[in-house]
Amino acid sequence: MSQEPENYSSTPAVCPYSGATLPRQSVSNFEASETTTVASKIIAPPADANIFYDPLTFADYDHPYDVYRQLRDSAPVYFSPRLGVWVLSRYEDVQAAFKNHEQMISSKGNDIDGTHDSYGKGNLVAQDPPRHTALRQAVRRVFALREILSKEDGLREVARELIRDMKSKDSVDFASDFALPFAFSASTSLVGLPKKDIPFLLEHLVRSMERSVGELGVPEDAAVSNEEAEVYIQEVVDQRLAEIAEGDDINRSDVITQVVAASEKGKVDADEIVGLTHLIYSASIDAPSALLTNIMYVFDKFPNMVKFLRETPSMIPQFVEEVLRYETPGQNVSRQTTEEVTFQGITIPADSRVMLLQGSANRDERVFENPDIFDITRDFTKASKIISFGDGIHACMGAPLARLMAKVAVEELIAQGDEIRIVGFPQRWAKQLVRGFSFQPIKFYPAN
């Protein structure tokens, strides 16, 4: 006669989690696993094991703000061994670095992935004084506040048309059906590119924004797209030169005309025209369109905010400012040190690449109270202004246009009286510098 094991049970048991009947022989093992604690030695990981920042990783692509807080608190001057890049995350350090254009130069571009290597010589963000000063001066008139404000009526008309088109569709992608075409309409007017070419330009911009999450560098097709865009811009510039030679108005307020005029005066080299035009064209689309998708993200996250803005439209500019802080479209830029620089008692060597985290600076609790709370009543002062558009001599000239575009878009969207929801799974741009959505499915619902 066989002998039952000492812990054998003749009564079937039921797993409390799945409801499945367990074999009799497994009852003792299951019960043991529920009641027995196995003693083990706790081995502490290295001190920096849970502090790691790489803007190319999925963690940063998905949600960077927890990492930003860790950096600000525990490693405000951080060195990324994977990329060989120093990272500044606190507001005071990011702002100081922006203003220190002599020791922290821009000649290697403002992106770590080589985006601007396929741009022409006149690329403004990859220039330092005196060329930076001359190039910026050449287009200053285009960005004068009165010139920007004069575009409001045209922007409003475009916004209304795009909204009508969206509401007539069964399936809507806010990124491609509103944010990008709205930004392109503003950009082509600003730069002086033909509006009929927007489909061509849109296809090239989308290609040029492609990146691989987790990998450094510009994919081959993105670089090719940038080169093709420069060939196209050269053709438009040549045509504009011919028109001016035939007596056309050289005082038109668009980038190409103003840069051509500066070139004729010897202030801009002929081979700088295309690169400067390309930079302004690109910068006036990617970050502003990302801002618009971030606004939609906030609409979806805080639907009662939409109702409040509809009832209190005077707060829309403040709302836009808080979106720029809370979900900064341009998350970082980079600089190159010419000599040793010190932040928070840590010295960064000469000839080092340094990344300035604007997205982190705008969430620094040392400057902004409860920074992870969306609060449109914030009092932005000179000491606590958002740093979304940089600071110092390289501060973004397009900031007034981006704010105007956002204001007009919000006004026209909430005027519909609808509730707008994200329906489905949006997709972010993979380009680590720009935080926004390349795909954002939405639906309009009648408001209750």
Could you report the per-residue pLDDT of 374-395, keeping only the tens digit for each?
A: 999 999 998 899 999 999 999 9
Bridge partners of 285, per DSSP, are none
Cα–Cα dist 440/174, whole Å: 5
Tokens coding 89: 């995350």
Cα–Cα dist 373/134, whole Å: 41
Domains, the chain, ranges and CATH?
Answer: 1-33 (no CATH), 60-446 (1.10.630.10)
| Cβ-based neighbours of 131, under 8 Å, separated by 6 or more | none
| Cβ-based neighbours of 353, under 8 Å, separated by 6 or more | 83, 84, 85, 86, 108, 112, 334, 335, 336
Strands 353-357 and 85-88: parallel
pLDDT of residue 120: 76
What's the sign of the alpha-carbon dihedral 371, 372, 374, 375? negative
The amino acid present at 418, given as its one-letter code, is D
171, 173, 174, 176 alpha-carbon torsion, rounded to 10°: -130
* pLDDT band per the 50, 70, 90 thresholds, residue 410: very high
pLDDT of residue 51: 86
| Cβ-based neighbours of 364, under 8 Å, separated by 6 or more | 72, 89, 90, 91, 371
* pLDDT band per the 50, 70, 90 thresholds, residue 364: very high
Mean pLDDT of 256-270: 91
DSSP three-state, residue 213: coil
User: E strand or H helix at 347, and its extent?
Assistant: strand 346-348
pLDDT of residue 4: 47
pLDDT of residue 8: 44
Residues 122-155 have pLDDT tens digits of: 888 889 999 999 999 999 999 998 999 999 999 9
Judged against a pLDDT cut of 50, whether residue 1 lies above it is answered with no
* pLDDT band per the 50, 70, 90 thresholds, residue 39: low
pLDDT of residue 249: 78
Judged against a pLDDT cut of 50, whether residue 70 lies above it is answered with yes
Whole-model pTM: value is 0.88
* pLDDT band per the 50, 70, 90 thresholds, residue 15: very low
Mean pLDDT of 57-63: 87
Judged against a pLDDT cut of 90, whether residue 47 lies above it is answered with no
Residue for token pair 């951080």: 78
Cα–Cα dist 374/25, whole Å: 57
Q: CB of 131 within 8 A of CB of 120?
A: no
Strands of the sheet containing 353-357, edge to edge, are 77-80, 85-88, 353-357, 332-337, 104-105
Q: CB of 52 within 8 A of CB of 74?
A: no
Contacts 24+ apart (CB under 8 A), 350-356: 352/86, 353/83, 353/84, 353/85, 353/86, 353/108, 353/112, 354/85, 354/86, 354/87, 354/88, 354/97, 354/104, 355/55, 355/85, 355/86, 355/87, 355/88, 355/112, 356/88, 356/94, 356/97, 356/98, 356/332
* pLDDT band per the 50, 70, 90 thresholds, residue 28: very low
pLDDT of residue 109: 85
Query: For the ranges 34-38, 104-108, 288-292, 340-344, which has the lowest average pLDDT?
Result: 34-38
Cα–Cα dist 48/183, whole Å: 42
* DSSP one-letter code for 45: P
Q: CB of 182 within 8 A of CB of 290?
A: no
* pLDDT band per the 50, 70, 90 thresholds, residue 75: very high
pLDDT of residue 206: 86
